Amino acid sequence: MSRSAKSQPPRTFESALAELDGIVATMEAGQLSLEQSLASYKRGTELLQFCQQALQDAQQQVRILEANILQTLPGAEDKD
């Protein structure tokens, strides 16, 4: 994979997680040069940030959905 392809943001959470798993496995194998290790570490941190943001976004969506469901339940107003 070229350097420019590596710096591209992942398309999905799942693709980012799969790439991150591959990076971890490669680094754990201990076959990378120092430069390759640093580049892999940098890419791994980018992927980690992407995954963390995707999870935060999903959590926010769940909170919103749950709030809407709770507001529309019959008798929800009586519980305050």
Confidence of residue 7 (pLDDT cuts 50, 70, 90): confident
**pLDDT at residue 32 in the model:** 95
Chain centroid, CA 80 distance in Å:
37
Model pLDDT for residues 9-43, shown as the tens digit of each residue: 899 999 999 999 999 999 999 999 999 999 999 99
Give dist(CA 48, CA 40) in Å, integer.
12
Q: At what angle do helices 13-29 and 34-72 cross, to 10 degrees?
A: 150
Is residue 1 very low, low, confident or very high in pLDDT (cuts 50, 70, 90)?
very low
pLDDT in tens, 35-77: 999 999 999 999 999 999 999 999 999 998 888 877 766 665 5
Range of the domain at 49: 3-79
- Please give the Cα distance from 41 to 23 (Å, whole number): 8
- End-to-end, the C-alpha distance of the chain in Å comes to 57
- CATH number of the domain bearing residue 75: 1.10.287.1040
Number of domains in the chain: 1
